[in-house]
């Protein structure tokens, strides 16, 4: 799946209207903001259809993944938008990260935790807020809002030094790319060493490659997530 997909879920009391743009979207926020309600409505519609009193509009199939049988459930899903509520432990596992790489689905994961095994973008972390689009009508309208701001764009970066978090396949890939372009590349061998390496490179323009986002630093230190 590629591109953006609009999802509208509603009943007589509440309506959610949002757009998915990337294969992994993280949904965060305080309790009682509607995150679990959204997932429950999609699950109820999946089980009962129109008899649930819920209207679901999306050009792709919407499904909920949960519990110990998540691998079996996932194997039956293709070209779908998959919702996962908080309380499920498997999104943080290496097994889940490996499994979704073999699929063509989009994923919406409700969580307050950092999922270090998943390569999601910092610009695809959202909350839910209530909108006043419906004026004085009784139905409550909810929409997603971007927590960390808009994408910084697609300007070309021209670093003189590249630092990768890991020392395995990621480092090997970027080392080859850097060598071909005359750029020095080194591994930090873990997040805890990145700051020290940055301090050692104060006179260079450095691109730091982490598990979940890229950051570009130009002395004095300033980070831009892209």
Domain limit, last residue, from 114, 146, 178? 146
Same domain, 95 and 203: no
Same domain, 103 and 138: yes
Q: Which residue has the tokens 């743009």?
A: 21
Same domain, 142 and 167: no
Write out the residue range of the structural domain in which residue 80 sits: 5-146
The CATH number of the domain holding residue 32 is 3.40.50
Query: How confident is the prediction along the chain (226 residues), in pLDDT tens digits per residue?
Result: 889 999 999 998 899 999 988 899 999 877 777 899 999 999 999 999 999 999 999 999 999 999 999 999 999 999 999 999 998 999 999 999 999 999 999 999 999 888 888 888 878 888 888 776 655 445 666 777 777 655 555 566 678 888 888 777 678 888 888 888 888 888 888 777 777 777 776 667 888 877 544 333 334 333 433 3
Q: What is the pTM of this model?
A: 0.65
Contacts of residue 138, Cβ cutoff 8 Å, sequence gap at least 6: 13
Query: Is residue 14 in a domain?
Result: yes
Q: Based on the structure, what is the number of domains in the chain?
A: 2
Query: Is residue 20 in a domain?
Result: yes
Contacts of residue 184, Cβ cutoff 8 Å, sequence gap at least 6: 160, 161, 162, 178
Q: CA distances (Å), 3 to each of 9, 23, 30, 59, 216, in order?
A: 20, 9, 29, 12, 26
């Amino acid at each position: 799946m590629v591109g953006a997909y609009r999802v509208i879920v509603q009943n007589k009391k509440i309506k959610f209207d949002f757009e998915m743009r990337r294969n992994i979207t993280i949904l965060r926020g305080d309790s009682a903001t509607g995150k679990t309600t959204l997932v429950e409505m999609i699950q109820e519609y999946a089980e009962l259809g129109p008899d649930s009193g819920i209207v679901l509009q999306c050009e792709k199939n919407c499904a909920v993944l949960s519990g110990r049988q998540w691998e079996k459930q996932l194997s039956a899903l293709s070209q779908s938008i998959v919702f996962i509520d908080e309380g499920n432990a498997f999104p943080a596992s290496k097994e889940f990260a490996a499994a979704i790489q073999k699929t063509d689905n989009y994923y919406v994961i409700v969580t307050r935790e950092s999922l270090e095994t998943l390569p999601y973008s910092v610009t695809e972390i959202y909350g839910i807020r209530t909108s006043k689009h419906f004026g004085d009508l009784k139905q409550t309208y909810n929409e997603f809002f971007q927590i960390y701001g808009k994408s910084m764009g697609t300007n070309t970066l021209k670093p003189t030094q590249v630092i990768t978090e890991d020392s395995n396949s990621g480092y090997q890939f970027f080392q080859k790319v850097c060598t071909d372009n005359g750029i020095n590349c080194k591994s930090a061998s873990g997040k805890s060493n990145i700051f020290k390496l940055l301090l050692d490179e104060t006179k260079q323009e450095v691109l730091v490659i982490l598990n979940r986002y890229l950051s570009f630093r130009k002395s004095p230190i300033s980070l831009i997530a892209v």
